[in-house]
Amino acid sequence: MISSTGRKSFSPAKIFIEESVSRSAWATRIMAKFPQIEKEVIADANALLIEDAARHSDEKSLLLARQRGPFLRLCPGTQKHLCCLYYNLDVAAGCDLECSYCILQGYLTSPLITIYCNMDDMYGELGKRLARSRSFHRIGTGELSDSLTFEPVTELGAELVVFFADKKNAIIELKSKNVHIESLLGLAHNRRSVISWSMNTEAMQACEEGFAATIEDRLLAAAEVQRAGYRIGFHFDPMLDHPGWQEGYRDVVDKIFRRIRPENIVWISLGALRYPAAFDTMLRTRHPRSKIYLGELLPGMDGKLRYFKPIRIEMFRKMHDWIRSYSRDVFIYLCMESRDVWQKSFGWAPRSNAELKRLLDDQVRE
């Protein structure tokens, strides 16, 4: 069995607890994991975040706070690009893996990692939404944080697996570059959870993905959750243009299908490196040794820096062909690309966001 033993587990320099959640069962449980760490109760989490951003501290401290807005948000998508109408469940903000290309570095200016502790509000919100809605919901926790990197601290992934086990109109997807899967094994998940891994070439993992688990460890973890009966997803996003990318990505595809049965893979997504132009200087400053800036990046229709379209199409087309050499049925889709790029990469394109949503929903409906 794969274990997180040997993987770097998050340990905060200090824990700040917002007074409004200081007595919650969730905050109490998390604090108990760190009996020796200094703790401080504060009145207002927002004031601390502003103050901490101004200090530009490099220490990774933990903030236990109340989520003031909704937990569940529809992916905003990008104009003139197809969007799968995915729902993001914002349970945390921040990550400890320090990948060079991560756009959270630009959106989340504080080094504090925030974990929300008003979980009764979250479950109430989810329960009401799913009880009232006739549409199917694909929900994930991996937008503002990695879904499993804090699992040893929160055990939230396990709780969500249990919560969604009896839901007929929804699934939860836990997407990660880490391998903290122990809490998920042995649960009665009823295949209403998808455990997914973000993938890259081994060369890019080694130089661009900070403290993330190795590609080999991710595949070992995927094989373990397969044995536990889970559905599995893989996300090659962002794909990075670099010398040897063809051999590197093809090798990872080969290793996936040697470990994971195609019938257990619900989807594989592809997306090329992209980030807002305003982040370029910040990313170069924080990661001066990164190689991702050597690629030909140009402003796209959405204002983000992207590879020249023919480069993206070549990468997507080759990945599509390599995956299809193993399975004609695994669903492959592009993240935030135009119908034109879909058509030139795959030979077909969804007619609309709604059609792409339906196609993905169909992979995980009962």
CA distances from 56 to 16, 44, 50, 112 (A): 17, 19, 10, 10
Mean pLDDT confidence for 37-66: 81
Which tops the pLDDT comparison, 3 or 31?
31
The per-residue pLDDT for 77 is: 85
Contacts of 326 (CB under 8 A, 6+ apart): 253, 257, 262
CB atoms within 10 A of CB 3: 14
User: Phi/psi at 305 (nearest 5 deg)?
Assistant: -75, 130
Per the prediction, the chain carries an average pLDDT of 92
**Element spanning 227, H or E:** helix 215-227
Is the preceding peptide bond at 243 cis, omega within 30 degrees of 0?
no
**Cα separation of the two ends of the chain:** 29
Helix 309-324 to helix 339-346 angle (10° resolution) is 50
Strand bridging mode 193-198 / 231-239: parallel
> pLDDT, tens digit, for every residue of 71-125?
999 998 888 899 999 999 999 999 999 999 998 887 777 779 999 999 999 999 9
Strand bridging mode 113-116 / 15-18: unpaired
pLDDT score of 321 more than 90: yes
> pLDDT, tens digit, for every residue of 222-258?
999 999 999 999 999 999 999 999 999 999 999 999 9
The per-residue pLDDT for 282 is: 82
The per-residue pLDDT for 47 is: 86
Task: Measure the CA–CA gap between 149 and 177, rounded to whole angstroms.
Answer: 8
Q: For residue 31, what pLDDT band results from cuts at 50, 70 and 90?
A: very high
The per-residue pLDDT for 350 is: 98
Domains of the chain: 71-92+120-364 (3.80.30.30)
Q: For residue 1, what pLDDT band results from cuts at 50, 70 and 90?
A: very low
